[in-house]
Chains A and B, each alone.
Chain A
Amino acid sequence: MDKLHYEDFVEGMTHTFGPRSMTRDEIVAYAREFDSQPMHLDEEAAKKSLLGGLAASGWHTCCFMFRMLYDHLISKTVSLGSPGIEETKWLKPVRPDVPLTLHVEILDKRTSKSRPEMGLVRMRAQLRGTDGMPVIDQTSTLLIGVRHPREMAAQ
Chain B
Amino acid sequence: MIWFENIVIGAKTELGSYTFTADEIKRFARQFDPQPFHLDEEAAKKSHFGGLAASGWHTASVFMKLQSRKINEIGADVRKSGPSPGYKNLRWLKPVLAGDTLSYATEVTSKRPLATRPQWGIVFLHVRAVNQRGEPVFEFESSVLFARRETQNA
Contact = CB atoms under 8 A, between A and B. Distances in A.
Given A48-B79, A86-B88, A87-B86, A36 B33 contact: no
B7 interface: no
A133 B111 CA distance: 29
Contact of B60 (A33, A49, A62, A87): A62
Given A36-B69, A63-B61, A84-B89, A90 B84 contact: yes
Most buried by B among A51, A66, A75, A85: A85
Contacts of B9: none
Contacts of A36: 68-69, 72
Question: At the interface, is chain B mostly helix, strand, loop or mixed?
Answer: mixed
B74 to A, nearest CB: 12
A6 to B, nearest CB: 15
A69 to B, nearest CB: 10
B89 A39 contact: no
B57 to A, nearest CB: 5
Contacts of B83: 39, 49-51, 58, 90, 93
B136 interface: no
A74 B91 contact: no
Interface in B18-61: 31-35, 37, 47-49, 56-57, 60-61
B112 interface: no
A89 interface: yes
Contacts of B82: 50
A66 B32 contact: yes
A67 B62 contact: no
A84 B92 contact: yes
B32 A35 contact: no
A83 B84 contact: no
Report the contact-size class of chain B (Cβ under 8 Å from the partner). 35 or more
Nearest to A71: B34
A58 B142 CA distance: 12
B137 to A, nearest CB: 12
Nearest to A62: B57
B85 A89 contact: yes
Nearest to B67: A35
28 contacts: A34-B62, A35-B65, A36-B72, A37-B78, A37-B81, A45-B78, A49-B79, A49-B81, A50-B82, A58-B83, A58-B84, A58-B86, A59-B57, A62-B57, A81-B35, A81-B37, A81-B92, A83-B91, A83-B92, A84-B56, A84-B90, A85-B87, A86-B89, A88-B87, A88-B90, A89-B85, A89-B86, A90-B85
